[in-house]
A = this chain, B = another copy of it.
């Protein structure tokens, strides 16, 4: 069975590695495990995490695991998760007037970038991620791995093909902030909104002109003529600024900021 079919029609996904398995089984996960496949040497270390796990645990040596799955299993930890029903955007965005930090991905077709965006969203405490119809699935194996498991804990919802970002933002009482290298406003120039929908497009074509004209368009100032950031890095920098503006960041050991 191809992953495309498993993740798509069959409503399941593959989790690899101990860190992501612990997230899948832990209290913050939005998903249930259907079954686990572990190498025997991984059982003792995972005993605690498996204590309350209702899913069956199958045990096999790594070469058997690799033969069964069709790809090399280095870590000896695999699970099948159940997607369950996908929530609506309104169900995962905090209701006004509470602060809200929502990341919107428009046309991101690279699993590394989508995974990295989820990782940054989780690191800076975003409430939710919204995906347009063309952005790839965060529950692909590679996206989950690159997200460091954030795809399992940060709520996400996919928009209908005809949904307009700005109409959606308005209906959720969010201010749409669209990132673009050509925007007139620099990050840091103006206060950031307490209820933000941060819209990120692809690196090549970027966001469409119609959207940029109607949203608050923002750019990250750079230096000299090498005006180029990866989309997930750019999202990380703006999410950090938004989380700071919204008071979401936990102070460090010194405590005072």
Chain A interface (Cβ < 8 Å from any Cβ of B): 28, 116, 119-120, 122-125, 148, 150, 153, 182-186, 188-189, 219-230, 232-233, 236-237, 240, 243-244, 248-254, 256-257
Nearest CB in chain B: distance from A23 CB, A: 9
Chain B residue with minimal CB distance to A153? B226
Known: A182-B253, A185-B252, A252-B183. A125 touches B223 (CB 8 A): yes
B223 and A249 within 8 A (CB) = yes
Nearest CB in chain B: distance from A17 CB, A: 13
Chain B residue with minimal CB distance to A126? B223
B186 and A221 within 8 A (CB) = no
Q: How many angstroms from the CA of A127 to the CA of B240 in the assembled complex?
A: 24
Chain B residue with minimal CB distance to A225? B28
User: Could you say which residues of chain B place their CB within 8 Å of the CB of A219?
Assistant: 252
B229 and A123 within 8 A (CB) = yes
User: Could you say which residues of chain B place their CB within 8 Å of the CB of A249?
Assistant: 186, 221-223
A223 and B248 within 8 A (CB) = yes
Q: How many angstroms from the CA of A223 to the CA of B123 in the assembled complex?
A: 6
Chain B residue with minimal CB distance to A222? B123
In-complex Cβ contact of A228 among B119, B225, B243, B252 (8 A): B119
26 A-B residue pairs with CB within 8 Å: A116-B230, A116-B233, A119-B229, A119-B230, A120-B229, A122-B228, A123-B227, A124-B222, A124-B223, A125-B223, A125-B224, A182-B253, A183-B252, A186-B251, A186-B252, A186-B254, A186-B257, A221-B257, A222-B249, A222-B250, A223-B243, A223-B248, A223-B250, A236-B236, A236-B237, A237-B237
User: What copy number does this chain have within its complex?
Assistant: 2
Q: How many angstroms from the CA of A256 to the CA of B184 in the assembled complex?
A: 10
Known: A226-B150, A229-B236. A252 touches B123 (CB 8 A): no
Nearest CB in chain B: distance from A204 CB, A: 11
Q: How many angstroms from the CA of A188 to the CA of B249 in the assembled complex?
A: 12
Q: How many angstroms from the CA of A47 to the CA of B121 in the assembled complex?
A: 43
Question: By CB atoms of chain B within 10 A, which of A119, A225, A240 has the most?
Answer: A240
Q: How many angstroms from the CA of A251 to the CA of B182 in the assembled complex?
A: 11
A224 and B236 within 8 A (CB) = no
B125 and A222 within 8 A (CB) = yes
User: Could you say which residues of chain B place their CB within 8 Å of the CB of A183?
Assistant: 252-253
